[in-house]
Amino acid sequence: MNILGISAYHHDSAAALIQNGKVISCAQEERFTHIKHDASFPKNAIQHCLNEGKISLEDINIVVFYDKPLLTFHRLLETYLLSSHRGISSFIKSISTWIKEKYFLKKILKQELANIGKNNFTQQILFTQHHQSHAAAAFFPSPFTDAAVLCLDGVSEWATTSLWVGKDNQLHHKWEIKFPNSLGLLYSAFTHFCGFTVNSGEYKLMGLAPYGEPKYADLILKHLIHVKDNGKYRLNMRYFKLKHGVVETNKRFEKLFQRPPREPDSEITQQDMDIARSIQFVTEDIVMKLAKAIKQDYQIDNLCLAGGVALNCIANGSIWKEKLFKGLWVQPAAGDVGGALGAALSVWFEHLKNPRLPHSFEDVNFTKS
Ligand SMILES: [Fe+2]
């Protein structure tokens, strides 16, 4: 049984091949095209996986895509209705590309796969939910038979933070926080505000944080995000605007910090460093509160992390140092690139109900750049 997982059309396209439950190859499209965060259909990554598996596309039994486009369409539609002052022409313009690429996704995937295989692609195509792909990418390769799985990212179909409990070959969804409330999008809003590229420069903001003081942490917690003791949170949307499905800062936000966003090529100031430290402080505070509440509520020994926010290794490290859990496993490809692997593993274990033997994924071939 050959299963091909695909993530694409948002950012960081990737492919993953598993054969009878064994991970054969995972590859990111940008490694072949040298286009950073390449979001296009990962034809090079797919071909690489097929080569590693010594098979052709005809040998693939199931293709699985890492999110459910119809649910994302509902979110984009509702988001538009919430900000309908921008007019119908703006809506048509912003959504037309999305409809072309995602709403007719099955047809597009078949066409793209047919181009690779030079033949009609008639095999089964499945879709997993985005956070299910993240959770599967975190839990199934982990050495744990039981674990809580916390997924944190910018946005998927609706979920931005979700909790799952993994047991043997199944993941059980427990709760989720929905868009526009998103820790990932809040961090990205600050990434933009400090002059870095969203969905790319978040690691720079994290790297800038140690040079500053958390002078604005109280301001952030008082005005921008309400955080409960259990870590669940709600953004104050008066300080943000929704644009093309993401959260951006607005004039009220700038007034709060008494400055405009930093120009990308301008000098980095001490205030930028203090802002970076402050949002890092808030992020760590939320992640730690979530982890403590999960431990208290589920009394489980192990925690797995995935989603783009789980690339924040400082926040992950703070959970580890707190010794809340006996085991902590973070999916190295925690962002959407790992969604291809998670989708494929989800089909093998959850959909096909194959038994799971932890430690059976030790010999993954990682693609060299
Ligand atoms: Fe994601």
pLDDT (average), residues 92-108: 68
Q: For residue 122, tell me if it sits in a domain.
A: yes
**pLDDT bracket for residue 359 (50, 70, 90):** low
- 137 lies in a domain? yes
Could you tell me the distance, in angstroms and rounded to a whole number, from the CA of residue 306 to the centre of ligand 1? 8
| Full domain range(s) for residue 127 | 2-69+101-145+333-362
Whether 156 and 147 have beta carbons less than 8 Å apart is answered as no
Q: How far does residue 267's CA lie from ligand 1's centre (Å)? A: 31
Reduced to 3 states (helix: H, G, I; strand: E, B; else coil), residue 65 is strand
Domain contains 278 = no
For residue 34, the model assigns a pLDDT of 96
51 within domain boundaries: yes
- The answer on pLDDT for 335 being more than 70 is yes
Distance from the alpha carbon of residue 308 to the mean position of ligand 1, in angstroms: 6
pLDDT of 267-315, one tens digit each?
999 999 999 999 999 999 999 999 999 999 999 999 999 999 999 999 9
Q: How far is the CA of 146 from the centre of ligand 1 (A)?
A: 23
Q: Is residue 85 part of a domain?
A: no
Q: Who contacts 293 (Cβ-Cβ below 8 Å, separation ≥6)? A: 229, 230, 231, 232
Residue 346 lies inside a defined structural domain of this protein: yes
- A 10 A CB-CB count for 108 gives 16
In the reported structure, the alpha carbon of residue 188 is separated from the centroid of ligand 1 by a whole-number distance in angstroms of: 13
Dihedral angle at the C-alpha atoms of 222, 223, 225, 230, nearest 10 degrees? Answer: 20
pTM above 0.85, yes or no: yes
pLDDT at 368: 43
Q: How far is the CA of 131 from the centre of ligand 1 (A)?
A: 7
CA distance 51 to 67: 25
* Per-residue pLDDT reduced to its tens digit, 18-46: 999 999 999 999 999 999 999 999 999 99
pLDDT, one tens digit per residue, over 187-215 is 999 999 999 988 889 999 999 999 999 99
Segments in 151-269 forming alpha helices (H) = 183-193, 202-208, 217-219, 251-257
Residue of higher predicted confidence among 282 and 158 = 282
Whether the CB-CB separation of 289 and 229 falls below 8 Å is answered with yes
Contact status, residue 13 vs residue 40, Cβ threshold 8 Å: yes
Total number of domains constituting the chain: 1
Q: Percent of the chain scored above 90 by pLDDT?
A: 76
Q: Is residue 39 part of a domain?
A: yes
Give the residue among 368, 314, 288, 348 at the shortest CA–CA distance from 22.
348
How many Å apart are CA 340 and CA 127, to the nearest integer? Answer: 11
Distance from the alpha carbon of residue 171 to the mean position of ligand 1, in angstroms? 17
Is 36 inside any structural domain?
A: yes
Locate 63 and state its tokens. 């293709």
Radius of gyration of the chain (CA): 21
What's the CATH code of the domain at 14? 3.30.420.40
With a cut of 50, say whether residue 132 has pLDDT above it.
Answer: yes
- According to the model, what pLDDT value does residue 95 have? 64
